Amino acid sequence: NQPHGRLAFAILLFQDIAAIPLIAMVPLLAGSDHPTTEAQGLQHVLQILGSIAVVIIGGRYLLRPVFRIVAKTGLREVSTATALLVVIGTAWLMELVGVSMALGAFLAGLLLADSEYRHELESQIEPFKGLLLGLFFISVGMGANLSLLLSTPLVVIGLTLLLIGLKLPLLYAVGRMVGDLNRESALRLGVMLAAGGEFAFVVFKIGRDQGLFEPQLYDVLVLTITLSMAVTPLLLLVCPKLFKPKVKPVEVPEEYRAIESDAPRVVIAGMGRMGQIVARILRAQNISFIALDTSVETIELTRSFGGMPVFYGDPQRPEILHAAKVDQAEFFVIAMDDPEINIKTAELVRNLYPHMKIIARARNRQHVHRLVDLDASPVRETFYSSLEMSRRTLVGLGLSQAQADARINRFKTHDQQVLAAQHAVYDDAAKVMQTAQEARAELARLFEMDRLEEESSDKV
């Protein structure tokens, strides 16, 4: 979705379309072993153009009725077989007129893409695509003559650098002049597309089969394209270092920075969805608190609802915690949505204020275990809302309110016990999986016992 990504995608589509005339031209450039007259050469060109026209026009007016009939059968196998038949038939027709089968297969793909059944066909041939794409690159890898790197390293490496050296500045210029990209985006565009494309393997192979390339030259070209592809990820890793983003200083009003308050009983780190609810409840109870956040927009929004004591400050900085008088508070509530920041904040608070009671927002069970190691009290952010959703679902399915409450309380108690048991082995994936399986069986047994007790009480 970045500007250079969209332009790169457009260029790649153009390259795919440009592959059609490239593949068609290779047999013409190769000519024939036998001398031909100008009329015969013209006739061959007309045969090729006529075959392409037949495929395109026939496919547009014949494929839709065919696939409409196939769709009425409701059999996915027939639809898949028909799609493969279209591809093989088109490739065979191109082969008959002296053009490569690869061009025919590509044309068939374009025809199928223009059909209203394209999404259904795409889902059906997806397994074939992955398998054949893998076989294609395996064959390319097996065909790469790596010994050339030892025998003629200067030639192979020189051609690779030449390819990247020519394409990268050209694409950079296209991005700057035509795509209206900035310098960083234009450079990323050049790096992404500087390598040779996979169609090069197809075109070079056809050229070798048609006698345009000697086997030695073909091996050098294939290895050059392969090396350029291998270098591309390394160049992409270098790009961010060339353009380090300039961090703009956040303009924070002085009133947000100056933390002024009497000794708070609670300090809240993070005024997102969870932090705001905690702050509203504390304020309704007239409990003194201070809230910290690093988003000016959040602070402005929160203060607009009645001037809450929310200040700008990073809770991972000791001087900010000192200014917020954390040492005089009873509870430190960590309500930020980043698990790693929550962990680091809990570590800092525990080190600076060993006797502080910490209540921290937890993303998942692993996060819970790490917070428990810091002697913090974790609260899973979606746990209680999920219990309420389950409660309403059970009532909607016919259970009474009392039965649903009993089930939910049973599950909550059981889950807390399992979580406590898993804390001793949470760094061992196999043991965690084993305890989870045992817990599922135990929970099913407990629910069954509750059901039997309810049935016996109803009979009495």
Q: Among 119-123, 144-148, 162-166, where is mean pLDDT lowest?
A: 119-123
Query: Quick one: pLDDT at residue 266?
Result: 92
Residue 357 has pLDDT above 90, yes or no: yes
Residues 6+ apart with CB under 8 A from 173: 186
Tell me the pLDDT band of 207, cut-offs 50, 70 and 90.
confident
Q: Name the residue among 235, 223, 231 with its Cα closest to residue 150.
A: 223
| Per-domain boundaries in the chain | 3-242, 260-381, 384-459
The answer to whether domain 260-381 has CATH 3.30.70.20 is no
Which residue from 74, 141, 144, 87 is spatially nearest to 115, judged by alpha carbons?
87
Average pLDDT over residues 319-345: 90
Cα(20)–Cα(17) distance, integer angstroms: 6
Output the pTM of the full model: 0.48
Over residues 227-260, the pLDDT tens digits come to 888 888 888 888 777 766 555 665 666 666 667 6
What pLDDT score was predicted for residue 313?
85
Tell whether domain 3-242 is in CATH 3.30.230.10: no
Going from the C-alpha of 345 to that of each of 225, 348, 349, the distances in angstroms are 49, 5, 6
Residue 261 has a pLDDT of 67
The residue that leads in pLDDT, 333 or 138, is: 333
Angle between helices 401-422 and 383-396 (to 10 degrees): 150
Spatial separation of the C-alpha atoms in residues 277 and 271, rounded to whole Å: 9
User: Which range has the top average pLDDT, 113-117, 182-186, 373-377, 450-454?
Assistant: 373-377
Averaged pLDDT, 314-333: 90
Contact between 290 and 264 under an 8 Å Cβ cutoff? The reply is yes
Q: Using only the alpha carbons of the chain, give its radius of gyration.
A: 34
Contact 445, 439 (CB under 8 A): no
Q: Phi/psi at 359 (nearest 5 deg)? A: -115, 120
Q: CA 354, 355, 357, 360: dihedral to nearest 10 degrees?
A: 0
List, for residues 38-61, the tens digit of each pLDDT value.
565 567 667 777 777 777 777 777
Complete edge-to-edge strand list for the sheet that includes strand 357-362: 310-312, 289-293, 266-269, 331-334, 357-362, 377-380
Amino acid found at 384: Y
With pLDDT > 70 as the criterion, what percentage of the chain qualifies? 87
- Tens-place pLDDT, residues 166-191: 988 998 898 888 888 888 888 888 88
